[in-house]
Amino acid sequence: MEGFVYVLFIVVLAVNALLSIYGIVYRRSLVKKLISLTILSDTIFVSIILVGFIFKYPVVPPVYIGVSGEETYLLEHGSDPLPQALVLTGIVIGLAVNALIAFGVIQVYRLTGTTDAKRAIRVLVEEVMEE
Amino acid sequence: MNLETLSLNLLGLLTPFLVILAFITPLLSKLLKSSRRAPFIIALIGGVYAAMASTVVFCYEITSRSPLIYTYGGWPPHFGIVYEIDLFNGLLGFLVAWIMLAIILYSSWYSKRLDDASWYFTLLLGLTAGVLGCLYTGDAFNFFVMLEVLSISTYGLVAYLRNRAEAVEATAKYALIGAVATTMYFLALVIIYSGYGTVNMAYLAGLSSAEFVVKEPSLRYLSLLAVSLALWTFTFKSAIFPSHFWLVDANPEAPHPVSVALSGLVESVGIYAAGRFLYTIFRPNGVLAVYHSVILIVLVTLGAISGVVCALMMLNQRDIKRLLAYSSISHTGIVYMGLFAGFLVNNSAVEAAITGAIVHAVSHVIAKTALFMSSGLFIETSGSRDLDDMRGVGRAHPLALVATVISTLSLIGLVPFIGFYSKLLIILGYISAGFVIVPILVIAITALSVPGYMKILSSVAFGIPAKEYKRPSGETWVEVLILLIALSLLVLGVIFWYIMPIFQDTTSSLISGAGDYINSALERIPEELRSLMRGVS
């Protein structure tokens, strides 16, 4: 049962990632592209937390080294905390990137009057032609 | 204080110092409202410090030849973040830091055109920290963080002229795909961590060639997946064929100093990371087994495609910066063709080709710096990026024109310049292994790109001026700076046979120094812990 849940979870994550890549590539609206980007990064963040739960590494991960006796109980029954630290860093950086891209989208809207990527380019080309 | 302690101290302070300087720039320029030069002076302090630190580190590497390790917070490798420097990243860091200093000086000229330069210099310092952090770090996750610092700074810098719709539009495209690329590197790290339980580069390198890992087929496919994802990010950053489009869109719209950084520094990071991953972390004969050669051949093919395609694309460009961006991609293609020669069986051939690739990376960065800087001058004087409207503008800037000619000749590969030796070494390496397709391609790329460069020269230098260009006063020092950068190409070319041993040692530290790289990091781990870690002898 447990194994089935994990497999299902991985499949859901993979489908999510593929859908978000579809969104980034084929959606014309820059806002929807940005939303797809956040979905993609969140999917990957969840998957690294999953890694902390289910995988048994061939080597001992950093926090496990040198721990013996009664303390191993916690380590054997809890998840590896290092991936969670990585995810925290990733979320903070992702926030900065998303804020910057959101600014770019707003600025495109202010200057061209649309958030549609193709239409924005058409507006730009027309402006150049008029000059 | 001996050289090792000095270089360790300078190195440990490098990224934190640059980031602190970056964040106090806006604050200080608010406090010192009267001084418009304050942001530039802060950036200059950062640039000088970075150049000094990287020079000391590089000198230490040349004299001692053993990797230099700085442990942040005193945590040994694998438990904490370390900076690990061998000759390969020492050389690239040295180059990048000095080019960055030149960019900061050049920005002092350019920033007079900006309303508020404080954020510009903040981002420029962030870019310096990001590039040097990427090059010096010995931790794959820290590399990701620094890659994001670098990316965020470049997104901000490309869109800096935020009221120009083209610039913002190019940034939106670049940033969206760039964010996907760095996320893919994060995914690659997830996969690597799930297989190896570590993100430290040296320990990963030790594990990926350890016997119990090599025998495991599941780890082979897992590493293959991770390496392919990571390499997509690196080819994106170094603008190689399938993902080169961002450079040609972003480069013309960016402020002139930023074009230099995009074409020189960001591409160098991509080249460095790909080399580090394929020659140090996942070595030939390691866990990737036969797939290692396949990956190298694919990268050489991609390099060849981007070399040929972008040399052809140069022919029908009218925008000078777009033309130079295509030329950058074509030259990075040549670097890739040389750097990933590891699939050849003949060892001395591999060494020659990789030495050629490293020399070519250096010569290309210097030449492109001079070209982009002088094209910036020409554009500001003529008021247009179109080559047809720039006819004869070089006559207003004679020194910059000489620099343009010198760096163009070096890019084409004429004899007294360093660009000749780099192509020669790549060609000699492949020919001595009996692999003649690549030499023919390198010569073809050179021949195809000559008309593109001639287009610049015929318009800027030999064209008859359509109007009288006003020569701005008090800007001669910018031209002198550009000329000095271009002359270094000639000097390096003349003394090439004396400095070639440095490049050869860099190559051997890359292809056969992996053992050194691993051991000097793992030696830092205390004895009691080492016995508990698998794969550490």
Q: Which bin fits A107, alpha (ψ -120 to 50), beta or left (φ > 0)? A: alpha
What is the number of H-type helices and E-type strands within chain A? 5, 0
Tokens matching residue A18: 């593929």
Alpha carbon of B23: minimum distance to chain A alpha carbons (Å): 15
Chain A interface includes B195 (CB < 8 A): yes
- Per the listing, tokens 């992702």 go with A94
Rounded to a whole number, what is the distance in Å from the CA of A1 to chain B's nearest CA? Answer: 22
Q: What is the DSSP letter of B68?
A: E
Query: What is the pLDDT at residue A3?
Result: 78
Position of tokens 């040692």? B505
- Check B213 against A65: CB less than 8 A apart: no
- Domain residue ranges in chain A: 2-130
Cβ-based interface (< 8 Å): residues of A facing B:
21, 24, 30, 33-34, 37, 40-41, 44, 47-48, 51, 55, 57-62, 65-66, 82-83, 86, 89-90, 93, 96-98, 100-101, 104-105, 107-108, 111-112, 117, 120-121, 123-124, 127
**What pLDDT, in 10s, does the model give residues A47-83?**
888 877 765 665 666 766 666 666 666 666 677 778 8
Q: From residue B528, give the alpha-carbon distance in Å to each of A96, B77, B203, B282, B335.
A: 41, 14, 17, 27, 44
pLDDT on residue B233: 92
End-to-end CA distance of chain B: 33
Instruction: Give the angle B408-B411-B416 at the CA atoms, nearest 5°.
Output: 90
What spatial distance separates the first Cα and last Cα of chain A, rounded to whole Å? 67
b/e burial code for range B400-432 (CB count within 10 A of at least 16 → b): bbbbbbbbbbbbbbeeebbbbbbbbbbbbbbee
Q: What is the C-alpha separation between B278 and B300, in angstroms, rounded?
A: 13
Nearest CA in chain B to A37: B180
For the structural domain made of A2-130, what CATH number should be given? 1.10.287.3510
User: Global pTM?
Assistant: 0.92
Q: Is residue B80 helix, strand or coil?
A: strand
Report the complex ipTM.
0.90
Element (H, E) at B69: strand B68-71
Q: Write out chain A residues lying below 8 Å of B529, CB-based.
A: 65-66
Residue-by-residue pLDDT tens, chain B, 537 positions: 688 888 888 888 889 999 999 888 888 888 877 677 888 888 999 999 999 999 999 999 888 888 889 988 888 888 888 999 988 989 999 999 999 999 999 988 888 877 778 888 999 999 999 999 999 998 999 999 999 999 999 998 988 888 888 888 888 888 888 999 999 999 999 888 888 888 888 888 888 888 777 787 888 888 899 999 999 999 999 888 888 888 888 888 888 899 999 888 899 999 999 999 999 888 888 888 788 889 999 999 999 999 999 999 888 888 888 999 999 999 999 999 999 988 888 888 888 999 999 999 999 999 999 999 999 888 888 888 888 888 878 788 888 889 999 999 998 888 888 888 989 999 999 998 888 888 999 999 999 989 888 888 888 888 777 777 777 777 788 888 999 999 998 898 889 889 888 898 888 888 888 888 888 888 888 877 777 777 665
A40 and B195 in contact by Cβ < 8 A?
no
Contact B332, B264 (CB under 8 A): no
Residue B264 is given by DSSP the state I
- Extract the tokens encoding B57: 């580190």
Q: How far apart are CA B379 and CA B479, in angstroms?
A: 14
Q: Got the DSSP string for B235-261?
A: HHHTT-GGG-HHHHHHHHHS-HHHHHI
* Helix B398-412 with B476-494: angle, nearest 10 deg: 30
**Per-residue tokens: B388:** 């047809």
Cα separation, A88 vs A72, in Å, equals: 25
Distant-in-sequence, close-in-space partners of B19: CB < 8 Å, separation ≥ 6: B125, B126, B129
What does the pLDDT look like over B222-256, one tens digit per residue? 889 999 999 999 999 988 888 888 888 888 888 88
What is chain B's length? 537
Tokens of A79: 């998840």
Q: What angle do CA B525, B527, B528 make, to 5 degrees?
A: 110
Q: With an 8 Å Cβ cutoff, is B171 touching chain A?
A: yes
Q: CB count, 10 Å around CB of B437?
A: 11
- A20 to chain B: closest CA residue: B180
Q: What are phi and psi of B80, to 5 degrees?
A: -145, 180
Percent of chain A at pLDDT above 90? 13
CA distance B187 to B16: 27
- The structure tokens 């721990």 sit at A67
Q: Which residue has 């402006």 as its token pair?
A: A127
